[in-house]
């Protein structure tokens, strides 16, 4: 592999200064690379040629990365390192971050790369791009975590935690908090392992008390690292989940509720579906009133109408005593099935078939028409075409029957989907299909 990480500090020899060829860090010659670089140098000032060369190298690297040509990308990278000597101060200052991002990508995927090479490259880049020290340290730690080296990752994060450069800026402060939070995640992992060990011990055992105290010490350190970050507006899902689990374990329900409410409802934070999911699951564990659960899922519905919790939302609405909730329950089912990823969700179709029939039996035709009017121009081809009738019957006959009932109720007996399914002969589903025809005849909105 062209070890471009070594080139960052290796001095140029006299032989190489006079040699019109490009060599890799391992001494391999790449004449085709030199040809590419020479082709863009067409006279003029040396600075212009230099800029053209580095620009060409960057384009070649990007192209090689897109094509997953890691060896070729490494060879181009060897030549691109000269950008660190660019006379343009702006380009020279921005070069370390570009080299780090491209270089780490190459080393991550290159078949001949190894842990030692990546570590060497990361350490040298921290010294060259000091303003990017925290970002590089964080990515370095994540790389080590990916390889299961938790202690090494923790060491990198500990070093970064105390690092400062120049005057402390707001962006630098956020990065420090992020570094501390990832360190907190590592501590959480250790805490979680202790928690699992604790669950295997007898509460009257001396070892239980010792392990419990160790867990308490770990949780205190972890809380400090996680708590600071999640107060800053942003999307901090893994950190919030870990922190909440620890708060609940120690019985601090009020603290957990406050964190989750802030994460979900604070206007300074970006809209985040998971924030409402975490709050809902917490309230559910607390056995909160149905009205409270509905209020949380209602916001999630507005953000992600096709979320998997929407079927649970429908069930809650169906059990409510309020008529407005019953109406919303119908809207939620239609909303789920508006999405292509849900077209074969048999539970959603079962719920809609049953609820449509109940709604029409309850003389709530207006509810159905309100939902159907905005869909009757595209649902027939989206859900109820002859193609889907054949395909659904072949793949899942129960799904086909549920969809046929919905199609019949909304489009009548003349619907292609309903007609195809109703003509099929299937002994197991014979009774169900008979009931389906009867329901369509009696309750279809186009009869």
pLDDT per residue as tens, the chain (447 positions): 544 545 433 444 444 444 444 443 333 344 444 444 444 444 444 555 666 778 888 899 999 999 999 999 998 888 888 877 777 777 777 888 888 899 999 999 998 889 999 999 999 888 886 778 899 999 999 999 999 999 999 999 999 988 876 666 667 788 888 898 999 898 888 888 888 877 776 666 656 666 666 666 666 667 777 888 899 999 999 999 999 998 998 889 999 999 999 999 999 999 999 999 999 999 999 999 999 999 999 999 999 999 999 999 999 999 999 999 999 999 999 999 999 999 999 999 999 999 999 999 999 999 999 999 999 999 999 999 999 999 999 999 999 999 999 999 999 989 999 999 988 877 767 778 788 888 888 888 886
The pLDDT score that the predictor gives to residue 169 is 65
The pLDDT score that the predictor gives to residue 224 is 79
78: in domain: no
Tell me how crowded residue 164 is: count the other CB atoms within 10 A of its CB.
Answer: 10
47: in domain: no
185: in domain: yes
The pLDDT score that the predictor gives to residue 351 is 97
Cβ-proximal residues to 22 (8 Å cutoff; 6+ apart), any chain: 29, 30, 31, 33, 34, 37, 75, 78, 79
330: in domain: no
219: in domain: yes
3-class secondary-structure state, position 114:
coil
123: in domain: no
206: in domain: yes
Decide: 317 and 329 in contact? Cβ < 8 Å: yes
Task: Classify 412 in phi/psi space as left (phi over 0), alpha (psi -120 to 50) or beta.
Answer: left
225: in domain: yes
Q: Is 363 exposed, middle or buried (0-12, 13-18, 19+ CB in 10 A)?
A: exposed
Total domains in the fold of the chain:
1
- pTM of the complete model beyond 0.75: yes
- The boundaries of the domain holding residue 258 are 167-278
Cβ-proximal residues to 212 (8 Å cutoff; 6+ apart), any chain: 198
């Amino acid at each position: 592999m062209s070890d471009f990480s070594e080139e960052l500090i290796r001095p140029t020899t006299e032989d190489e200064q006079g040699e019109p060829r490009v060599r890799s860090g391992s001494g391999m010659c790449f004449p085709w690379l030199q040809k590419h670089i020479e082709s863009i140098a067409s006279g003029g000032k040396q600075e212009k040629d230099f800029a053209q060369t580095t620009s060409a190298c960057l384009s070649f690297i990007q192209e090689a990365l897109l094509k997953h040509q890691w060896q070729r990308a490494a060879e181009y990278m060897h030549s691109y390192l000269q950008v660190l000597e660019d006379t343009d101060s702006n380009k020279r200052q921005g070069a370390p971050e570009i080299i780090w991002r491209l270089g780490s990508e190459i080393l991550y995927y290159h078949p001949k790369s190894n842990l030692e090479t990546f570590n060497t490259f990361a350490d040298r880049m921290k010294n060259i791009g000091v303003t990017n020290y925290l970002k590089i340290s964080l990515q370095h730690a994540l790389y080590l975590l990916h390889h299961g080296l938790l202690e090494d990752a923790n060491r990198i994060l500990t070093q970064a935690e105390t690092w400062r450069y120049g005057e402390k800026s707001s962006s630098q402060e956020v990065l420090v908090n992020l570094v501390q939070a990832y360190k907190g995640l590592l501590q959480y992992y250790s805490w979680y392992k202790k928690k699992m060990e604790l669950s295997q011990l007898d509460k009257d055992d001396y070892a239980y008390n010792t392990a419990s105290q160790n867990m308490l010490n770990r949780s205190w350190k972890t809380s400090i690292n996680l708590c600071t970050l999640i107060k800053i507006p942003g999307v901090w899902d893994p950190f919030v989940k870990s922190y909440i689990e620890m708060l609940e374990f120690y019985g601090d329900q009020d603290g957990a509720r406050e964190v989750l409410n802030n994460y979900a409802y604070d206007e300074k934070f970006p809209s985040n579906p998971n924030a409402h999911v975490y709050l809902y699951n917490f309230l559910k564990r607390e056995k909160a009133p149905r009205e409270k659960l509905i209020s949380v899922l209602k916001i999630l519905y507005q953000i992600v109408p096709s979320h998997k919790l929407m079927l649970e939302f429908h069930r809650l609405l169906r059990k409510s005593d309020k008529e407005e909730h019953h109406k919303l329950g119908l809207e939620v089912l239609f909303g789920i099935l508006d999405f292509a990823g849900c077209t074969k969700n048999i539970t959603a179709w079962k719920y809609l078939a049953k609820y449509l029939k109940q709604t029409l039996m309850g003389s709530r035709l207006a509810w159905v028409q309100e939902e159907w009017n905005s869909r009757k121009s595209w649902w027939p081809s989206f859900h109820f075409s002859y193609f889907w009738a054949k395909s659904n019957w072949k793949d899942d006959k129960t799904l086909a029957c549920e969809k046929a009932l919905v199609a019949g109720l909304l489009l009548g007996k003349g619907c292609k989907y309903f007609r195809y399914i109703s003509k099929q002969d299937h002994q197991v589903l014979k009774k169900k299909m008979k009931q389906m025809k009867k329901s369509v005849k009696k309750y279809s909105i186009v009869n």
